[in-house]
Structure 1
Amino acid sequence: MIVKIENYKKSNITTFILVIVMLSCSDHMYYTKNEVDVETEKVISILIDTLSIDIPIPPPLNELNKNDSLYKLTVLNKIKKDEKDVKIIAIEPKLYSTEIYDFPSKDFGNDYNHLILKLKSLKNTPLVLDYFIENSKDSIIPFHDTLLDNTVSDYIKFDKLLSFSRIAFNEDYSRATIIASSSTSSRAGITSIYFLEKKKDDWYIKKSHGLWIY
């Protein structure tokens, strides 16, 4: 009888150890990046670098005289801008679904038309910002409502707000389609659809199409 009890205890201990090992392996597999995660980070990194750049102000019709106050103000603003190399970029910590959006009835080519259909079927998913925080030249922060001040229309705690949809990849991960939004205030922003291609493991934006301006 004593032997049976000892065997029972040993069996329970063995089972417990096996469960712990399986759970630890499961956690390891869960946090291991797969191909989709790696390519997603690459695509979004390209878009962050692109959308973080300020749109240059068009030059005046007539050349400004160096004694003009407008010229001095332009130079001063440029110096201030050059001094502030690092921007604070707030990013929505999720990749949102586009299933409710109406896309333009435009032919983007068979490959990309197929990806647009695929894009509309993808659901929301979290976007982990750790990679971008570590590798971006700008200061990346997760966006949340507490960063907003309802008394003003501009973003006073960050320079830009970026958000991204899910990404539709083709089968060999050589093409991708994504929707991205960039805004500098609650009343100034643009949303576009981007078509990217990969050559020699590097992604680049092949073309884009504006969807909404506000």
Structure 2
Amino acid sequence: MTWRIEIPAYLRFVLAVVSPGRPVPQFDAHTMPPAPIDAWSDDEKKLLIEEGRRQLDRQATDFGQLQTRAQILLTTGIAIAVGWLATLSTVLNGTVRAAAVAWLFLILSALMILLSTLGATSIIIVRAEFGIVHATLLSQSQPPILDHLAAAYARTVRVGGNTIATRLSVLRYSVLCLLIASALTGVAWAAARPAPVGIPTPCSTATPATAIKSISPCPSGSTGP
């Protein structure tokens, strides 16, 4: 898989958050089809079934961990958005040193924050596809049932494997967008620092008794110390 495939897929996941029911792509990470097992012994088929069950359990665990990471990423994105709002407030005050640069990086960082948070949200709420062995359908199979069950496990693990691979790619791009957003927000904050204010030169007014210092701007005809 290359970025030319992954980036459009990521954008489709982002759109699925704001457009419920939109289908999302699944990467074909497991391209090897299951081989025929007709010549296998019953013990070997039982071994395949047990391994298939372990793989399905591991896929469920991996998916739960992915959702946990996505929740952490979403929380981090919200925190960065708060910093973005603080920087925006500074820019709106109109006393920044480089307003044009600050606005440019604020707009870019807002886009990255939006893409990152929506990508993380898609991992949590967009429907995930996992293969299962349907007991009702299995009951309608013709003997030997062990052959059908072993073949079913060999097929179903591919579906969950592709789902996990796809969600990992979405999580990776969400993290990347958030890192870029953090950097852009930092640059915008640096550009939004208040412009330096000049300090007036103190003037002195001489009197017969003493010289009185004044920090007000020099009046016309007066000179600094």
- Provide TM-score, normalisation by structure 1: 0.29
Higher strand share: 1
Higher relative contact order (CA 8 A, sep 6+): 2
Greater fraction of residues in helix: 2
TM-score between the two structures when normalised by the length of structure 2: 0.28
Q: Over alpha carbons, which structure has the higher Rg?
A: 2
